[in-house]
Structure 1
Amino acid sequence: MKTEFTFGDIVSVAGYENRIFYVDAWREVKETDEWGVSEYVEFELTDAINGEFLDAYEMDLRLVCRKHFAEDYLLAYDVTDYPEPTGVAFHFTDDYTFGIGYAKKEAVGMEKGPKEAPKKEHAAGAKRKTDGLLDEYNDYMRLYESFGDTEYKTKADAVMAKLRREAGE
């Protein structure tokens, strides 16, 4: 099957407005049932900003940016009001596809903390988050330098965009 999208392209998904995703992989599915044979393509996607995973059908995707221009696109992308992952959930673009998101403490039944953390604890948490993002960025850059695969560079740029967003808050 020929598909309109390729690895590393940035796409939007019906039902996920104001979010952009990388195309990570796709599956050609040939399904046979008593009424006949149907063929379709399912895509595995990763949110370009927060890393949430999603599966979707080709008909639910719209091209935002080709892989070759993704780095420049993400550098100029405004992430000010970008939606955060909502917790562990199955995401449906229609009745048959799903993806699994990241868990937040509230989503898995852990006790919620105070609405506003003391400044010292807040600063330490922000530093840990920044350190984690920097580690992730450095890992992607090492992979890019080692293998030359532009997908690693694009993902590193997405992490850098998230770092910039965090710094602006």
Structure 2
Amino acid sequence: MGKKKQPKFKLGDTVVITMYGTVGNITDIKFLDGAYVYEVNYSEGLYIEKTLQSINEYEGEILYQKEQINIEYKFLLGDLVQVDGYEQDYFKIIGYRTEIWRYKENAWEDVIYELSRISDSEWLEAHEEELTLIADAKRADGIIQKLGLLLSKKNNELAIIAKQNNPGKGERDMTMTKNEKKEMIDGLLDLYNDYCKLYEHFGDDEYRHIMKIALAKIEKAAEEIYPDHKKKQTK
């Protein structure tokens, strides 16, 4: 009895399907009716040996299969966002990348956003579904200024300087004056009214979200200016 013929290719070999000129890897080998047949790139069809050639021996034109991937980015560079789990903080998008995952049974793409926290420039990564848009890049800086989101960063810097110069004076120097708080409230009221009109006209939840933020900051500033008024209400 003669020795069984060995397959020309082995699992993992890179071959060219000569009838198409396409490249693939051997993913399975079967022995049917006295001949070896090969699975290429987990395809449903099987190829006999004479239809395949090692990529190192092939001299014809190779047609590499290309995959076109269309990805829609929900957020863009410079957008102002909030992140799940960081509800008290605001972030700017400073970068993003797409991770492409391909398996035999599954395929998907992940968009990862790189963020910088407004208050202290802390770096963070987040997935698209974890983000809520506060303002697009064109309006982000204006929103940041009007909402006073840079205040905590400024206060931290003032506190450090004040503590170095006069440890007992730092807290007083970093506190906003009553007039400054009133000016901030005026700016927040303007912002609230502007976005109220936009919300009434377009009905976009983004505008309503900014209205809520502005209103919360107005209430907080008012309580700091008129603490006695709050005490009377709670009695």
- The bucket for the TM-score relative to the shorter chain is 0.3 to 0.5
Give 1 or 2 for the bigger CA radius of gyration. 2
Higher RCO (CA-CA < 8 Å; seq separation 6+): 1
Structure 1 length normalisation: TM-score?
0.47
Structure 2 length normalisation: TM-score?
0.34
